[in-house]
Amino acid sequence: MFRNIIRNNLRRYATTGAKYAEGASTQFKVASTKGSRRWVPTAIFGGSFLIGWYLTKHMTFTDIMAYWKYDKLPRDAPEVEKYESELLNRLEKLSLVKQLKSNGYIEIHNQSNTNGGEPNDRLILQSLSSPGAIAIPPRFYYNPQTKDTVGLYHLGMKLTGYPFIVHGGILATVLEDLMRESVKFVLDKKGEKIKDLSISYRMPTLANQFVVVRTTSIEQNGKIVKLKAEVMDQTGQRTLVQGTGSFKI
């Protein structure tokens, strides 16, 4: 009798354990499937973000045609001329241009692109000169009374390091370019290759806009000229970069 009771209990526990193990196995498989599916939207989002990041690193909505369509065209192509004309119109409408003219600044035409120019001039006017980069030559203004020099540069989306942010090396290049031009205007001499350049980045510089680069001081000690300059946004109200440099004349 006791043998029958024990035998029946063992059979019942064995059957119950098998059913529990089967249910646990099924439940585990379902949970694992659901977990793997959760990675699908994450992977889609991550892939879309990387693609978007790469594209915006080189273009924005307003420069997409300049990047893909105008870059390979000759400089005298109608599309390129129209694009450059639009940038010039934007430049003329800047409130800062009117302020400069009303405060004794005169426009100085840069002739470096017609006579070969210095290596840094060729970098600005030739290597970086294309739609989406520096599509139009920078415009310079000089005040004979205060000896201040101001340059207006349009920096396109090709010049970015991070999405929508101009690369720091480009900002250092335009800062040095303005310093070199200032030496020409103030001392009527050409500065040789810059001896040293110190840069302090204050705020990120957004691409596809004009930046204002101006000297804040210039000192001559023998054949060494030391300058201080800054890069501001196109309103001229916010300082983005500050720098100091010295040239041998």
Q: Are residues 84 and 33 in the same domain?
A: no
Q: Are residues 21 and 102 in the same domain?
A: no
Q: What residues make up the domain containing 68?
A: 57-248
Burial class of 16 by CB neighbour count within 10 A (0 to 12, 13 to 18, 19+): exposed
Higher pLDDT, 65 or 91: 91
Q: Are residues 29 and 145 in the same domain?
A: no
Q: Taking the model in full, what pTM does it have? A: 0.69
Q: 43 in a domain, yes or no? A: no
Residue 39 has pLDDT above 50, yes or no: yes
Q: 9 in a domain, yes or no? A: yes
Residue entry with tokens 């692109």: 113
* The total number of structural domains that make up the chain: 2
Question: Residue range 175-195: average pLDDT?
Answer: 85
Question: Residue range 13-20: average pLDDT?
Answer: 46
245 in Cβ contact with 176 (< 8 Å): yes
- Residue 87 belongs to a domain with what CATH number? 3.10.129.10
Q: Are residues 93 and 169 in the same domain?
A: yes
Q: 143 in a domain, yes or no? A: yes
